Structure 1
Amino acid sequence: MSNTAPPSAGAASSTTSSNNTNNNIATAAPTFTPQPQSTATPTATTAGATAAGSSTASSSTSSSNQNLNQIVTDYLLKKGYKRTEEIFRQEVKDIDENGKPRSHNESTTPDKLLPAGKYLHAFKHFERWVDNGIDLYKFELSKFLWPVFIYSYLRLVGQGSYAHAQELLEKIRDRFEKTHPDELKGLATMTLSQHIRESPFAKAYLENQYVIPISKSLTGTLFHFLERDLDRCGAVVLDIIHQHCRVDSVDRGPIEPFSFEAIYRRARNQELDEFDVQEGIPGFSNRSGLANRNVLDNVAALKLGPLPMDPELRSDVVAELEEEDKLHPPREGLPTLVEEFNIMQPIKKEAVDSPQRTDIPYPPSRARDVVIEMQKVRENRDRFRIEGRTGGVGPGLSVCIFTFHNHLGSISCIDFSKDQELVAVGTTESYIRVWTVDGKPLKSCGPATEAVNNRKLIGHSGPVYAVAFSDAIANMDRNIYEGSSQPETGAQLLLSCSADGQVRLWSLDVWACLCIYKGHDGPVTCLSWGPHGHYFATGGWDKTVRIWSQDHASAQRLLVGHDTMISALAWHPNGSYVFSVSDETDKSIRMWSIVNGNCVRIFNGHAEYVSALECAPNGKILASADIGGNIFLWDIEKATRIKRCRGHGRGGIWSLNFSVESTVLISGGQDNTVRVWDVEMPAEGSRLTNQQDGDNTAAVTGAQVDGKQPGQTLQPAGGAVSGTGRRKGKEVMVTPDQISAFPTKKTPVIKVQCTRMNLVVAGGCYHPETQEAPR
């Protein structure tokens, strides 16, 4: 950095002619206090002006010359000449401290290596490369951003380009505001090269090398990029690394900042490992590993409102609903379909709490989407309504449970289509079987075959861990598109994942595999369709969550941070966030932004294996359940636990689902029960229920679903039930917010689903060897 000689006694400035004043105004840097009037003689003035650009110029003279520009800048702003003021600032950017143009043919010394304007552009380009890179490497590569920024700033101030330095600080400081607030405050006070020489903070950075530990696998990737983009950012970043940094290549895998181990250690001010202790400058807490505590604050801004509907789709739906209202006017007391639609999809002038449709690309709408949206409005209007707090005594929900017999313990997962027409199971024998719920023959677009009510899908080479139908709804009773075929609204696709590491997409029209998605390293344990289709999420044994789209064979997002295998997934209703939970030692729930891949919330509290996740339709509440029989309700915005619901026995709660209003939660578990919970009622205290053998307050029978006779039961409980059990005299802890319990005889419940009409569908496998509910 350029050095300025100590002030000379004979170097002073004085009053000059108007021409000299104007010249000073045009060639000095802004933002300084008013200059004092000099008392030097006119002869000394000439000498002082001549010596202004020499190495003997004083810092006070430099400040005086720079201050004139600030006076002019303030005057232009006061008079409203904003464009003139902007041009003026651009012209004086490359003026040195002594009011003379700075040459861009810099020497090869570290103080004057590159043009001042290149530092900001270089940092921005390097930052984009880091942020848009693979999520697994993003954390370690971002360690270079802070030293590149701070040394760029010190260089600019040291060579007198304070305007460039101030612009760099203003445009970059938001990135480091939470991690380096004290350092940023110190940088803001450095406006002269003399300040840098006098600051212990700046001297520590300039006299020591900034240590950056990085995995060996990333070193080649980093320097290959810098050499490739030498003109755009490589020259600046490489020079800073060469002059001021020490890159230590360590023999380890990429660091994961949101892993259980990392969060646990940072919360206790412990280091990640011995390599990270040396990171940064000695005596200053600048290590980026510790700088990520903002993740633990859970304060990132969220957009939990509904996703606005595509304007073109909205206009088509409204037009068809108006026609439907004319043909079929609503019954007295019911709103029209258009009125119901406007309540469901209000037009907001400023949807601050909602994501933008441009944040995540979706395919254009089709005729099928118009019919589906119309039917959703109809079902929402005609549904069985659950209003307000139930007080733990109602409502009398109906539950229809399908029991699978003769499975020999091979069924590992179950899913129902959203129109309740189909049910699919995955097996440990690597195949999938799909039935019609009502026993009618399955539809098929393939060659004419025998009409059957079930089909077998073969392709996986390991146990199938999860299956999921695409969106579906009951079709309309008329074709709104005259002259063309009626759009099909049933489930057309089925997703499955397996221990073989594959995710398969099956067509339910031709009953064949359409695509195989590969990417996970090891078994894929769970999957879930996004609320708007097209995208789906998977979690696996490799501790990662991946976001896929139907039309791409590779994952669109790789979400890294869990310390152990992913055990459950859930989407936020607006499709902008996904929740994941890890098993065993981790047990933390993480909320990920689909837009940028960042972890925006962490929920900690479970002490046992977390087996189920579900987000409420209102987008504000998250429910999680574990094998200990606990259900936790979380406030998503605050990342705090609302309450714990207890009533299930031990063994696992395998499925959760909310009512349409988000006021009731339904759960199904290994203790052979379906339970209904009041979400809004505080869980204050608990009650002991003495369960006697044969206690059967809610009789729900099972019918066979084995490919010959479809199963169907619906006999709801007659009143509130505090708990169920099989062992005589066994006491069970039940919280007062349990509304009712629906016990089966010997059928652990694997899947529960609340329909858009607020009816509950459940499925399980009959286990004759089960004598009592596990504890």
Structure 2
Amino acid sequence: MPDQPMPDQRSLGPTHRNLSNRVASNPLAHVIDYLAKKGYSRTEAMLRMESANQEIDGRPLPPMGEDSRPKYKLGFDLLKTWVEDNLDLYKLRRVLWPLFVYSFLNMVTSLWQQDAKQFFESSKNMFLPEHTDDIRIFEPISLPEHVQHNDLAVLYRSNKYRIVLSTPAYQNLLQFLESKEKEGGSVMNAILSSYCTIKTLERAADDRFSFATMLGQGGSDQSVPLEDEGIPGHHPGSAYTGDNPAMAGTLPRLRLGKLPMEPTLEGDVRHELAEMDAKEPPPPGRNTLVEEFEQMIKQEEDEESPSRTDVPFPISTARDLAVEVQKVRDHRDRFRIPARTGGVAPAVSVCMFTLHNTFDSVNCVDISDDNTLIAAGFDQSFIRVWSLDGKAIKPAYPEMDEDTPPANSHRLIGHSGPVFAVAFHSAATGEENVDRESKDYSPTNPRWLVSASEDKTIRLWFLDTWQCIVAYKGHDRPVFDVRWGPFGHYFVSGGSDRAARLWVSDHIRQRRIFVGHDQDVDCVCFHPNSAYVFTASSDKSVRMWAVTTGNAVRMFTGHTGPITALECSPNGKILASADTQGSIFLWDLAPGRLLKQMRGHGKGGIWSLSFSAESTALVSGGADGTVRVWDVAGPQDSTQGRVVNDGASISKIDVSNTAAGSSGQAKKKKGKDVVVSPDQISAFPTKKTPVYKVKFTSMNLVVAAGAYLP
């Protein structure tokens, strides 16, 4: 029944009548009325705002009344404009996504279909590159019933969205929302309070290249990885489509197949394999080399591949023929690592090489393809190369090294700053003069080494003479990483100037510059067909670039710490990235989605990753002094691990997980829980040796290297 106004209330305005009715039905109105009479205007305004915009359980209600409807859009637009002009743009922009989602869902549940649709259409484009899949799922929602039956909407409304911000950025955000309280800031603040969990972090000093410092950071407060941003268990990944707004929401088609072989080289390989089959017929039940080669070609034809005109290479040489023949032999004779079946993991062994008396001066390590040499870059600006068997290194041209006595190591001097990256490659230069019938000959003999330094240069070293041949200059700040392409000729570098650069070994200037990251480019790698380059940055994102155009074709986000390692699978379909928080992410390149996240390493960084030849297993090593083997396929719930608090040390943790099989558990390290996801196949602990490099050989054996730190 309508309220019957008393005679003495007829002279009151509608506002006072509504207030009197609310006082009679709501005790909170008594408090508001009392504050108004006593003149506590600010407290009264805050209480009115909270009571009008929040439910009993604290969740925000849509503002009531026609005049209040635009506050969601007004508050969001004001915050968006402020964020775009803020110095902490990258950190604060992540706040806009949950505000957009929860504002839209609240408007829909309040039956404001038209306002919700207009709000969604006007703001969705800014989130398409990073949240394409979520946008497509939310777009059909227009009624409260849709919200209740939409799995993604239920997931968002039943969980709090987690955000990590620096303390100054969070304080600036709160100050802005309070200053724009009447323009919609109060509504945005209410959404953050009720639907989001914000974790603040102090800004820390950047000392990434001291490994002992990294290990020292793994104290009692560093054992547990930070909570992932976003909704727990929901990491759809993202895909970047370039800077063209017309292409927003569409994914460029990738050609992930193997780079086709030259017709002439293919014929030569087939002829060479036939001669080898005639000399050494295979045992019964095993394919001939020619049959193995035909199977490899047939498998490669199933994938769309780039053409050799897109990625030009020099004419093939005798060395290229020998390399391709060796690949076929390895493909037939290697130890195969199938995907885990029935919970039984494949047995993987690791051979660990340890460098002693380095006194935390080693920054990087690499092992040659034929496992004969190991190189390390030092803080003291030099590189040292050892033979892995401890014997004297035999020069390819003895007449060129007559004055050099035999030694099991050589020092390369030329840089004027700490060396941050080294990479071996077997090159064709001069290969025609090598005796291919010699027992010491190998098509993968290391001939060249490339290095990157704080002195802003990249140097190419010829290992036959142990001399620097070229110094490549292009970066204007320290260079942090450099990697050869899978066929040589090209290499890519990344540095503190926030750019990655593509180089051709026989040209002094870079051929491509990849720019887009907000912070340092810390690690780089090639796709197996050389048509794409991957870069990872301290801004916690990974980008995929097309070599032919220089444009970004994918961007992957989700890491909660700076990314420290990258590796693409040999089949060209999966990218693995690892960060300082001990997490490994596997990305499906074609759709641009996150496959899964794997945990097990401690804090300090995962510094090296490597895939098996079949792309079914992944090996990792890092600051916690362990080498861990992971199942690439693995269970669907790989991000969920059980916690077992038994007070074991890190060594005991690793030993207990060495057995093959599912290890979905966690052990306690210094009072903290270390989560181990069930994807871990095995773990191999060292004593006090951080692992700088891990590598699957062509025969699927694992070699690793590190420097002992007492």
Query: For this structure pair, what is the TM-score category when the shorter chain's length is used for normalisation?
Result: 0.5 to 0.7
**Secondary structure of the corresponding residue to residue 687 of structure 1:** coil
Unmatched tracts of structure 2, length 5 or more: 1-88, 97-122, 128-240
Q: In structure 2, what residue type is equivalent to 1:317? A: V
Structure 1 residues 291 and 562 mapped into 2: Cα distance closer, same or farther (>3 Å)? closer
SS in 2 for 1:682: coil
Q: What residue identity is the alignment partner of 2:576?
A: A
Which of 692, 703, 711 is residue 648 of structure 2 equivalent to?
692
Q: Which amino acid aligns with 2:266?
A: R
2:630 maps to amino acid: W
Residue deviations 1:58-115, cap 9 Å, x none? xxxxxxxxxxxxxxxxxxxxxxxxxxxxxxxxxxxxxxxxxxxxxxxxxxxxxxxxxx
**Separation in 1, partners of 2:653, 2:286:** 35
Q: Deviation digits for residues 299-340 of structure 1, max 9, x if unmatched? A: 011101111111111111110100000101112221111111
SS of corresponding position for 1:757 = coil
Match of 1:674 among 621, 627, 633: 627
Could you give the per-residue CA deviations for residues 231-254 of structure 1, whole angstroms, max 9, x where no partner exists?
Answer: xxxxxxxxxxxxxxxxxxxxxxxx
Are the aligned partners of 1:501 and 1:520 in contact in 2 as well (CA < 8 Å)?
A: yes
Q: For residue 330 of structure 2, give the secondary structure of its aligned residue in structure 1.
A: helix
Identify which of 400, 403, 422 aligns with 2:373. 422
Note the C-alpha offset of 1:503: 0.3
Which segments of 5 or more consecutive residues in structure 1 lack a partner in the other structure?
1-257, 271-288, 701-715, 769-775
Aligned to 2:326: 375
Which of 464, 468, 478 in structure 1 is aligned with 2:423? 468
CA–CA distance in structure 2, aligned partners of residues 736 and 261 of structure 1 = 34
Counterpart in the other structure of 2:245: 293
- On the 8 A contact 2:350/2:702 being kept in 1, the answer is yes
* Cα distance, 1:294–1:658 mapped onto 2, change above 3 Å: farther
Match of 1:328 among 280, 301, 322: 280
1:305 equivalent to 2:245? Answer no
Aligned counterparts of 1:314 and 1:406: Cα–Cα separation in 2: 48
| 8 Å CA contact retained: 2:376, 2:422 | yes
Separation (CA, whole Å) in 1 of partners of 2:363 and 2:261: 37
Q: Does the 8 A contact of 1:698 with 1:718 survive in 2?
A: no
The letter of the residue matching 1:307 is L
Residues 138-149 of structure 1: matches in 2 within 5 Å?
none
> How much has 1:348 moved relative to structure 2?
7.5
CA distance in 2, matches of 1:752, 1:357: 31
User: Are 1:636 and 2:589 counterparts?
Assistant: yes
**SS across alignment from 1:297:** coil
**What SS class does the counterpart of residue 374 from structure 1 fall into?**
helix
Structure 1 residues 262 and 371, CA gap change in structure 2 (3 angstroms): farther
Say if 1:658 and 1:666, in contact at 8 Å, map to a contact too.
Answer: yes
**How does 1:35-50 map onto structure 2 within 5 Å?**
none
In 2: Cα distance, 1:400 partner to 1:339 partner: 32
| Change beyond 3 A, Cα 1:755–1:558 | same
Q: 741, 754, 763: which one pairs with 2:683? A: 741
Q: Deviations over 1:268-292 (max 9, x none)?
A: 759xxxxxxxxxxxxxxxxxx9972
Give the CA deviation at 1:719. Answer: 3.7
* Aligned-partner Cα distance in 2 for 1:347–1:633: 23
Distance 1:511 1:725 in 2: 47
Structure 2 residue corresponding to 1:615, chosen from 564, 568, 573: 568
Change (3 A) 1:724 1:399: farther
CA distance in 2, matches of 1:455, 1:468: 16
- AA aligned to 1:686 is G
Kindly report the root-mean-square deviation, in angstroms, between the aligned alpha carbons of the 2 structures. Answer: 3.1
Larger radius of gyration: 1
With over 3 angstroms needed to count, the CA separation of the structure-2 counterparts of 1:482 and 1:748, relative to structure 1, is closer
Q: Is the 8 A contact 1:261 1:563 kept in 2?
A: no
| C-alpha deviation, 1:389, in angstroms | 2.7
Aligned residues: 470
Q: Is the 8 A contact 1:340 1:381 kept in 2?
A: yes
Q: CA separation in 1, counterparts of 2:666 and 2:598? A: 15
| 1:765 CA drift (Å) | 1.1
Which residue is equivalent to 1:755?
Answer: 697
1:579 alignment partner, one of 530, 534, 553? 534
Aligned to 2:66: none
1:262 Cα offset (Å): 9.9
List per-residue Cα deviations over 1:659-704 (Å, max 9, x = no partner): 111111111011111111111113412122445137548779xxxx
Secondary structure of 2:244 counterpart = helix
Contact 2:340 2:633 in 1 (8 A): yes
Other structure's SS at 2:571 match: coil
- Write the mapping of 1:189-208 to structure 2, written as runs, cut at 5 A: none
Instruction: Quickly say closer, same or farther: Cα 1:453–1:392, change in 2 above 3 A.
Output: farther
Describe how 1:78-477 pairs up with structure 2 within 5 A.
269=126, 292-293=244-245, 297=249, 299-346=251-298, 353-390=304-341, 393-444=344-395, 445=397, 446-448=400-402, 449-471=404-426
The structural deviation recorded for 1:521 is 0.9
Higher relative contact order (CA 8 A, sep 6+): 2
Contact 2:370 2:442 in 1 (8 A): no
Task: Work out the CA distance in 2 between the residues paired with 1:395 and 1:686.
Answer: 21
Preserved CA contact (<8 Å) 1:309 1:345: no
2:130 aligned partner: none
Distance 1:316 1:346 in 2: 18
**1:55-70 maps to which residues of 2 (within 5 A)?**
none
Q: CA deviation at 1:373?
A: 1.1
Residue 568 and residue 481 in structure 1: after superposition, are their counterparts in 2 closer, same or farther (change >3 A)? closer
> Which residue, 497, 500, 508 being the options, matches 2:455?
500
SS in structure 1 of the partner of residue 497 of structure 2? coil
Q: Cα distance, 1:520 vs. partner?
A: 0.6
Does the 8 A contact of 2:242 with 2:552 survive in 1?
no
Indicate the SS of the match to 1:345.
helix
Q: Please report how far the alpha carbon of residue 731 of structure 1 lies from its aligned counterpart in structure 2 after TM superposition.
A: 2.7
- Give the distance between the partners of 2:674 and 2:653, measured in 1 at CA: 16
Percent of paired sites with the same residue: 50
Shift of 1:727: 3.7
After superposition, give the CA deviation of every residue in 1:516-566 in whole Å (9 maximum; x if it has no partner): 110011111111100111000001111111110111000111111111110
Aligned AA (2:384):
R
Q: Structure 1 residues 695, 749: closer, same or farther in 2, change over 3 A?
A: closer
Corresponding residue for residue 522 of structure 2: 567
**Quick one: distance in 1 between partners of 2:381 and 2:490?**
24
Among 604, 616, 621, the residue aligned to 1:651: 604
Closer/same/farther in 2, CA of residues 606 and 347 from structure 1, 3 Å limit: closer
CA–CA separation in structure 2 for the residues paired with 1:267 and 1:499:
42
Deviation at 1:345, TM superposition (A): 2.5
Matches of 1:353 and 1:367 in 2, distance apart?
28
Match of 2:550 in 1: 597
Per-residue deviation, residues 605-632 of structure 1 (Å, max 9, x unmatched): 1121111111111111111111101111
Partner of 1:708: none
Aligned to 2:476: 521
Kept in 1: contact 2:385–2:410 (CA 8 A): yes
Aligned counterpart, 2:504: 549
Aligned partner of 2:86 in structure 1 is none
Tell me which amino acid in the other structure corresponds to 2:465: V
Task: With the length of structure 1 as denominator, give the TM-score of the two structures.
Answer: 0.57
The one-letter code sitting in structure 1 at the alignment partner of 2:294 is N
SS in 2 for 1:338: helix
Which residue pairs with 2:579 in the alignment? 626
Tell me if the contact between 1:417 and 1:472 (Cα under 8 Å) persists in the aligned partners.
Answer: no
